[in-house]
Structure 1
Amino acid sequence: MKYLLKSLLKTIPVLLFITLIVFVLMRLTGDPVSLMLPETATQEERETLKNSLGLNDPLPVQYMHFLGDLVKGDFGDSFRYNTDALELVMERLPATIELAIAAMIVAVIISIPLGILSAIKRNSFMDLFITGGAVLGKAMPSFWLGIMLILLFSVMFQLFPVSGRGTLGHLVLPAITLGTGIAAEMTRLIRSSMLEILGQDFIRTARSKGLRETVVVNQHAFRNALIPVVTIMALQTATLVGGTLITETVFAWPGLGQLLVQAVNLRDMAVVQAATFIIAIFVIVSNLSADLIYRLLDPRIKYE
């Protein structure tokens, strides 16, 4: 609990630094008033809108106002959608989380058995086949894989919908597209971690006691090999929440990635700030969860 409380306190300056970066960068991209008003707007109308948005105040004053509104959960209204920015982000967030979780499940289902098999069959044809497939999966562009899956399973065989969200069938192809690259990276990590554990003394002791190889691998080796895997899972899960843009675009998935890029292009500052803040919180929670899972996997780990 002491470690958890200290970690939570450390997130406060991190979040403040993130808000400062986003605040400064969004104001360096240009004047949002030019996008909010038509070209025929007069200079007086522009100045009136700037005053109402507080854009004529000095930057430190604008930032303090922004922090004050942030504490109240008020990021302002989106000028494009004419609605509260935080509500708009929270409406899109479940779709992105759903896709991220599904992609991670696909990655785990693929990578764990292949990584273990590759380590057990080291330097065999099976090992070369799996590691070669992992390299290919990591190098394969996600947009190309998504298009190929659509052509094969949606157009040719008509097994899954082409795009959109709503049913389990809509989720299958985007999850496979997004999870393939993660599975490739996790497979190689599991293989290397398993090889390291299988060469240690306690594994040789377990084998000398006459334990079955499946017991040695599953109960002794794999659990100890999970710590680096948990790390990469936490990092990838956090990345998926903010980095599913390409997959969301290919499959017209109504998630947070598309909303954030559209907001950046239109300089919709309220939406960008709200989305970035939510993603930052998700990343921090994911990393903190990974630290706590380490303790469950290996009781020898102490937080001091």
Structure 2
Amino acid sequence: MKYFFKSLLKTIPVLILITLIVFLLVRVTGDPVSLMLPETATDAERDSLREAMGFNDPIMVQYFNYLGDLVTGDFGDSFRYNTDALNLIFERLPATLELAVAAMIVAIIISVPLGILSAVKRNSFFDLFITGGAVLGKAMPNFWLGIMLILLLSVTFQFFPVSGRGTLGHLVLPALTLGTGIAAEMTRLIRSSMLEILGQDFIRTARSKGLGEAIIVNKHAFRNALIPVVTIMALQTSTLIGGTLITETVFAWPGLGQLLVQSVNLRDMAVVQAATFIIAIFVILSNLIADLVYRLLDPRIKYD
């Protein structure tokens, strides 16, 4: 718990740095007033909005005012949806979390058994087939795989809906699209980690004692091979939260990624800033949870 709270305190300067970077990048994209008003707006209207929004103040004064608003949860209003930006993010976040969890479940179901079998049957045809499939799965772009799944399973065979959200059927294709790429990377990592553990002395000792191969692989080898797997899962979880925008766009999934793409195209910077901040929080929390899971998997790990 001491380590946990110390780590939480360390995230504060990280979040402040993120807000500064996002704030400056938004200003670099152009005059916010020009982005918020139509081209037909008069100079008087532009000057009035600039004064009302505080854009005439020095840039650091604007940043500290922005930081003060963030402390109270005020990210501004979306000019496209005419509502609070943070509330809009929280409306879309459950859909993204649903897709991220489903994709991770797909990845685990595919990668864990294939990675273990590939390591146990090293250099066999089965191993080469799995390794080649993992390389192919990692090389395929998500948007291309999503389109191919739509053409095959939705248009040709009509097994699943083409797009949208609402039923379990709507979730299958986008979860497969995201989960396949993650499974490819996790499969290779599980295989290499298992091969390293299976060559350790304690595994040979377990075999010399007459333990069954299934017990050795599942109880002794796999648990010790999980630490790098937990690391990649933490990294991929944060990627799923922030990087589903292309997949959500392909499948018209009403999540945070699709909202972020639309907001960038429309220069709705209040929503962009709020979404970036929320994604950063998920990235930090996922890495912190991974650190805590390490201690559960290996009691030898100390956080001094």
1:46 aligns with: 46
1:282 aligns with: 282
SS of equivalent residue, structure 1 residue 65 = helix
Post-superposition shift, 1:40? 2.2
Q: Kindly tell me the number of residue pairs found equivalent between the two proteins.
A: 304
1:24 aligns with: 24
C-alpha contact (below 8 Å) 1:178/1:247 kept by paired residues: yes
Aligned pairs for 1:177-216 (under 5 A) are: 177-216=177-216
Q: Which amino acid aligns with 1:170?
A: H
2:219 aligns with: 219
1:261 aligns with: 261
2:251 aligns with: 251
Q: Which amino acid aligns with 2:272?
A: V
Unaligned 5+ residue runs, structure 1? none
Indicate the RMSD between aligned Cα atoms, in angstroms. 0.8
Take 2:40 and 2:284, find their aligned partners in 1: how far apart are those partners? Answer: 45
1:272 aligns with: 272
Deviations 1:57-111 (A, max 9, x none): 1111101111111000000101111100000111111111111110000000000
Deviations 1:11-46 (A, max 9, x none): 000000000000000001001222322222211110
C-alpha contact (below 8 Å) 1:114/1:130 kept by paired residues: yes
Q: Which amino acid aligns with 1:73?
A: G
Take 1:22 and 1:36, find their aligned partners in 2: how far apart are those partners? Answer: 18
Q: Which amino acid aligns with 1:72?
A: T
1:77 aligns with: 77
Deviating beyond 4 angstroms after TM superposition, the runs of 4 or more aligned structure 1 residues are none
Post-superposition shift, 1:141? 1.3
1:128 aligns with: 128
Aligned pairs for 1:149-164 (under 5 A) are: 149-164=149-164
2:101 aligns with: 101
1:56 aligns with: 56
Take 1:96 and 1:136, find their aligned partners in 2: how far apart are those partners? Answer: 26
Take 1:120 and 1:290, find their aligned partners in 2: how far apart are those partners? Answer: 26
Post-superposition shift, 1:268? 1.7
Take 1:40 and 1:180, find their aligned partners in 2: how far apart are those partners? Answer: 48
Post-superposition shift, 1:273? 1.1
Aligned pairs for 1:132-147 (under 5 A) are: 132-147=132-147
Take 2:147 and 2:248, find their aligned partners in 1: how far apart are those partners? Answer: 12
Take 2:29 and 2:149, find their aligned partners in 1: how far apart are those partners? Answer: 37
Seq. identity, %: 84
Deviations 1:191-215 (A, max 9, x none): 0000000000000011111000000
1:291 aligns with: 291
TM-score (norm 2): 0.99
Take 2:64 and 2:38, find their aligned partners in 1: how far apart are those partners? Answer: 30
Post-superposition shift, 1:131? 0.1
Post-superposition shift, 1:265? 2.6
C-alpha contact (below 8 Å) 1:26/1:267 kept by paired residues: no
C-alpha contact (below 8 Å) 1:32/1:268 kept by paired residues: no
Take 1:150 and 1:269, find their aligned partners in 2: how far apart are those partners? Answer: 32
Take 1:261 and 1:53, find their aligned partners in 2: how far apart are those partners? Answer: 24
Deviations 1:255-296 (A, max 9, x none): 111211222232222111110110011011100000000011
Q: Which amino acid aligns with 2:184?
A: A
